[in-house]
């Protein structure tokens, strides 16, 4: 039985790790930690977790913890993920992986130094819906890819107390939402962009990006458009579109396909509109994490992939003129 400890009394943790773990008999959430006195104990009681620690150090000192789920703000990802690795724990770190590419590289170096696993929590990457798109490409059904467009937008009303709007905590539309489209296009194309052709964005009152649009060029010559937005009144939209030699493929809602998605394939003169059966993205993510930790699989969202995503985010911000 592997045991997980959670950094942060986070709202995402129940759906991301607590509930998926309860659906299994080979892993359990054993503890949660918060720096705010009493918060972890209350959270542990609410979610039926054995232990609530006041402070992350106490959780790291627990010899029963095998894996740490880092659900802290992005500004705390590097420090505490590295601390967990150095304490002998594997780490699943929430997206975005770090504040920038340099921090991401330090985190990956710590994982390599300790011989432990460090994965970024791109849960959507493991779902059968996204894997279906990858199989189309890998099986030659798309032919040569011409362009890719990836979009993710949703209303996140401005709140100066929210980490999603706070530059010091790692807020911003690109960090919170746009990291997904960046990951989609990098994964589909299987290479890193060599140029941000263009990028622009709008700012919230604290100065972080409220929306971003960017065009990326890849070594193959393929162009990819990515966009994200979180301004008030923004309707939910998550869409990945691939234009290719044999037609096009679209997947609507690749980020949370278990809440409803559709795949539209216009290939070789035919048309197929369908969905792919499956559980929650988080259940597949937990399975992938356990497979990697136990040596049954190689990570899809660790190491170079995690560093690469942050490097692209850095480059988009630089091209758009955002000082970070």
Query: What strands, in cross-sheet order, belong to the sheet with 270-274?
Result: 195-203, 209-217, 223-229, 145-153, 237-244, 247-252, 262-267, 270-274
> Cβ of 295: how many Cβ atoms within 10 Å?
8
Q: Are 120 and 187 in contact (CB under 8 A)?
A: no
CA distance 185 to 308: 12
Q: Residue 37, exposed/middle/buried by CB under 10 A (0-12, 13-18, 19+)? A: exposed
Exposure on the CB side of residue 16, measured as CA atoms within 13 A: 23
Q: Among this protein's residues, is 137 annotated catalytic? A: no
Cα 78 to its chain centre, rounded Å, is: 15
Angle at 126 between CA 40 and CA 255, to 5 degrees: 75
Catalytic one of 89, 95, 149, 319: 95
CA distance 59 to 51: 9
3-state secondary structure of 291: helix
3-state secondary structure of 58: helix
Please list the active-site residues: 95
């Amino acid at each position: 039985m592997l045991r997980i400890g959670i950094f942060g009394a986070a709202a995402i943790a129940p759906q991301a790790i607590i509930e998926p773990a309860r659906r299994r008999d080979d892993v359990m959430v054993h503890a949660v930690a918060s720096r705010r006195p009493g918060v972890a104990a209350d959270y542990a009681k609410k979610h039926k977790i054995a232990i609530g620690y006041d402070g992350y150090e106490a959780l790291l000192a627990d010899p029963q913890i095998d894996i740490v789920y880092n659900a802290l703000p992005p500004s705390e990802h590097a420090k505490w993920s590295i601390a967990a690795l150095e304490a002998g724990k594997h780490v699943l770190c929430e997206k975005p992986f770090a504040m920038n590419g340099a921090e991401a590289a330090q985190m990956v170096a710590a994982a390599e130094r300790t011989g432990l696993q460090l994965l970024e929590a791109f849960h959507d990457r493991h779902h059968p819906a996204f894997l279906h798109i990858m199989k189309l490409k890998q099986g030659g059904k798309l032919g040569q890819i011409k362009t890719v467009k990836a979009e993710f937008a949703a209303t996140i009303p401005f709140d100066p107390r929210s980490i999603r709007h706070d530059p010091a905590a790692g807020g911003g539309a690109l960090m919170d939402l746009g990291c997904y489209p960046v990951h989609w296009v990098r994964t589909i194309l299987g290479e890193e962009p060599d140029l941000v052709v263009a990028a622009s964005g709008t700012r919230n009152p604290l100065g972080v990006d409220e929306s971003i649009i960017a065009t990326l060029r890849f070594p193959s010559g393929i162009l990819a458009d990515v966009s994200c937005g979180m301004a008030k009144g923004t309707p939910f939209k998550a869409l990945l579109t691939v234009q290719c030699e044999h037609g096009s493929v679209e997947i609507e809602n690749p980020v949370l396909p278990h809440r409803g998605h559709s795949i539209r394939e216009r290939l070789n003169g035919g048309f197929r509109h369908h969905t792919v059966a499956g559980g929650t993205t988080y259940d597949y993510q937990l399975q992938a994490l356990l497979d990697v930790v136990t040596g049954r699989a190689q990570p899809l969202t660790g190491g170079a992939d995690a560093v690469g995503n942050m490097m692209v985010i850095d480059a988009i911000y630089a091209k758009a003129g955002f000082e970070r």
